[in-house]
Amino acid sequence: MKTRILLFAWMFTGIVSYAQQDAQFTQYMYNTINVNPAYAGSRGAMSIFALHRTQWVGLDGAPTTNAVSINTPINNSNLGFGVSLINDRIGPTQENTLSADISYTIPTSETFKLSFGIKATANLFDLDVTKLNPVDDDPSLHNFNNKLTPNIGAGIYLHSDKAYIGLSIPNFIESNRYDDNEVKIFKEKINYYLIAGYVFDLSSSLKFKPALLTKMVEGAPLQVDVSANFLFNDKFMIGAAYRWSAAMSAMVGFQISDGMYIGYAYDLETTKLDNYNSGSHEIFLRYEIFKNNKKITTPRFF
């Protein structure tokens, strides 16, 4: 029975870890702080962010992710600070990841700034053995309960009001959630991120922004997300995205007020998983408090 339980867990988490290591987001261009600590404070405002993602609706045990974060520049200095929490549930497993980010920004020209960031993370991993329906209790599986592992990451972020490009590694330390010298049930591997985007002014009332996220993980295919968004009158956004060999997405967003923005995305699988689920839903809300209670003259598109 022990072999059967471990085989099931290995198959399940093996599939999950092959498909995605860090939590996956379609609207990554608004959630940059989770992958690149150098983003902290770059918007020039205190930015409060909350997101809910339900993936592969209808598939039992599919991932559900909740993320909250806050980041802000520190007074009139070149420093930025951020804190984020991600809750990721996949089948019988649950991860809570708490991160603190600090950045330092230097101007490189009249329009561009270069930011450097460091991320410190604590990850709490838990396995609900009861969801595996074991016939015989296996004491070794209880080692999964509330397993805490620390990590550290770093990133660089070159940005202006019109463009950005960033490189980051959120987790430098590889760690095993379980290792009995025969089978590694889950291994946290290093994730490498490249992000980029540019805003084109097509007219006085229409902006166009293509964006890119590339993620590389050892033992998994290269993940490439490309998106194209249109912003009308600095208020309404509509766009589409494609995750290479994985999914197509539609996105909409609305600037409710100077400080509040809401966005929604729907993913349609392009893999065989499409036969077993009805897509993925992702919604987020961002609220910003501007310095001296003044709004940003030109709303940022990222």
Distance CA 193, CA 205 (A): 32
Mind listing the domains of the chain with CATH numbers?
Answer: 1-11+32-291 (2.40.160.40)
According to DSSP, the residues that pair with 236 across neighbouring strands are 232, 254
DSSP 87: E
Backbone CA torsion sign across 222, 170, 36, 23:
positive
Alpha-helical (H) ranges within the chain are 2-19
Q: Identity (one letter) of the amino acid at 78?
A: N
Q: What is the pLDDT of residues 257-290, one digit of tens each?
A: 989 999 999 999 998 888 888 999 999 999 998 7
Model confidence at 186: pLDDT above 80:
no
Q: What is the pLDDT of residue 179?
A: 52
Model confidence at 12: pLDDT above 50:
no
Band (142; pLDDT cuts 50, 70, 90): low
Q: What is the mean pLDDT of residues 116-145?
A: 75
For residue 79, give both structure tokens. 């420093």
